[in-house]
Structure 1
Amino acid sequence: MRREGGDVVWTLVVPVKPLALAKSRLAGSTGRLPRPTLALAFALDTVGAALTCRAVRDVVVVTDDRRAGAELAALGAWVLPEPTGGGGLNGALAHGAHTARTRWPHTGVATLNADLPALRPAELGRVLDSAAEFPRAFLADAAGIGTTLLSATAGNELAPAFEGRSRARHRASGAREIELAGVDSVRQDVDTEQDLRTALALGVGPHTAAAAGGLAAPGPAVGLD
């Protein structure tokens, strides 16, 4: 589970919804910017940044969306279909974690949201370094309600409890909350127009920058067109 020099190696599991269903809370506010285009751009920038993080060996994307799967595989991600029998987001994450552990039994496994378009590899590395100190750990999102990253070191079950108020559920499950300053890019997921403006202010990756078409940021939500 460690690289030469003592740094922990991680496999990240990134879930990607079918693009046609993704980012429903952006509906009606994105004007000329199609939700599927934005969702794919967010995922490409998230996975692209993660793949260049020094602490990350592999990224496993769990998706049934053919276009997203093809484009993320082209970046270097390993793409898995969603598990049969459903299970929702948590089922997809458990499936990805189990598959990763089967292939790399001595690596740490962490989930990462697919909507972190401002993700900075160095900040992700700091979060993962902190996570390596605990059997299970998580990072709360910028709103302080959800979770953007959940980790489990080798030999520990991931036990994802995402959707809704996952911060409280992960804390109640015994996972240690990571409390670091200066890792805003790992916290800033995008569900709403204002989230997108905030991410743009942090500085997004090239795919989101192109998809957003130069949208001004930050500022009050006044419509994207």
Structure 2
Amino acid sequence: MTAWTVLIPVKGLAAAKSRLRGARAPRERLALAFALDTTRAAARCRAAGRVIVVSNDAAVREAVAATGAETIGEGPGGDLNAALRHASAAVRAGDPRAHLAALTADLPALRPADLAGALAEALRHPRAFVPDAPGTGTVLLTALPDAGLAPGFGPGSAAAHRASGAAELRGAWPSLRRDVDTPADLAEAGRLGLGPHTAALGVMSQDMQGTVATFDDQTRSGTVLLDDGTELAYDTAAFDASDLRLLRLGQRVRLETGADGTVTGLALPTM
């Protein structure tokens, strides 16, 4: 079996995951937990020969080293793509025939089997990428020994990688495609099953707030629009557990979620 070198870039925690403000755990702790769960899953993937976290952040490097994974500095350049170019060059300097895979660090629900499936498909193309769940970003970029990695991560990276000649891999691989930038993303990851570092933070028992988008007074179910624009559904059981008699469209509510990310209750923010 081909052994891939998996590169996981992790930027400084102070600047990480700004769109996750309001989650129960501080976003710095969330970002580190995401990275550790991503690294753990990658290390357990049967197709991964080496897993290397690319970061200049001392806290990240210390936490990763404690798990036994490798670390490397980002080198010059100051952004994620420069860090990946530096790391891939360092790997290829020691092993010119290395199979390279760049994996984003915000995959707290990643399952080794999903990553292995994508890497198996990637063997058919000199360069390949897996888009994120919305289809606009990239969660995995690969390069065979005769190809350069040529990373183009950032807004619209799926289109950028496609335009650069990388083949788009279309497998389902739900846990691989579920990166986390927003509370709604985190809820989706929770439904898939969080890794132990993220789960230990208790993030899926957090309270989220939003406004009522729909309410059916016959079924006592509907949807709430979160502050990031995402709709979450609540069922009859969730409404009945809330001791509310009705909801009005546009009304502000607090959502209580279970371990799998589903809505378990609603309340008025002042309650």
In the alignment, structure 1 residue 18 sits paired with structure 2 residue 9 = no
> Which whole-Å deviations, capped at 9, do the CAs of 1:148-195 have from their partners, x for residues lacking one?
0000011210000110000001000000000112x0000000000000
Q: 1:192 is aligned with what amino acid?
A: T
Match of 2:60 among 61, 68, 74: 68
- Distance in 1 of aligned mates of 2:17 and 2:11: 9
**1:189 and 2:183 correspond:** no
Higher helix share: 1
- Please list every run of 5 or more consecutive structure 2 residues that lacks an aligned counterpart in the other structure: 206-256
Where in structure 2 are the equivalents of 1:164-175 lying within 5 Å? 164-175=155-166
Residue number in structure 2 paired with 1:115: 106
**Structure 1: unaligned runs, 5 residues or longer:** 1-6
Shift of 1:102: 1.5
The SS at the match of 1:45 is helix
Deviates more, 1:96-105 or 1:152-161: 96-105
Quick one: distance in 2 between partners of 1:65 and 1:9? 27
Is the CA contact 1:197–1:219 (under 8 Å) kept in the aligned structure 2?
no
* 1-structure distance, mates of 2:201, 2:119: 29
The alpha-carbon deviation at position 104 of structure 1 amounts to 2.4
**Aligned residue in 2 for 1:99:** 90
Could you tell me the TM-score, scaled by structure 1's length? 0.90
Rounded Cα–Cα distance in structure 1 between residues aligned with 2:203 and 2:86 = 36
Give aligned-pair identity as a percent. Answer: 49
Structure 1 letter corresponding to 2:53: V
Partners of 1:218 and 1:13 in 2: CA distance:
32
Answer whether contact 2:190 2:204 (CA < 8 A) is retained. Answer: no
User: How far did 1:218 drift?
Assistant: 3.3
In the alignment, residue 190 of structure 2 is paired with which amino acid? Answer: L
**CA shift digits 1:85-118 (9 cap, x unpaired):** x241110111111111122222200100000000
Q: 1:38, 1:212 within 8 Å by CA — same for their partners in 2?
A: no
Q: Which has the higher contact order (CA 8 A, sep 6+)?
A: 1
1:4 counterpart residue number: none
What is the identity, as a one-letter code, of the residue corresponding to 1:124? Answer: L
Higher strand share: 2
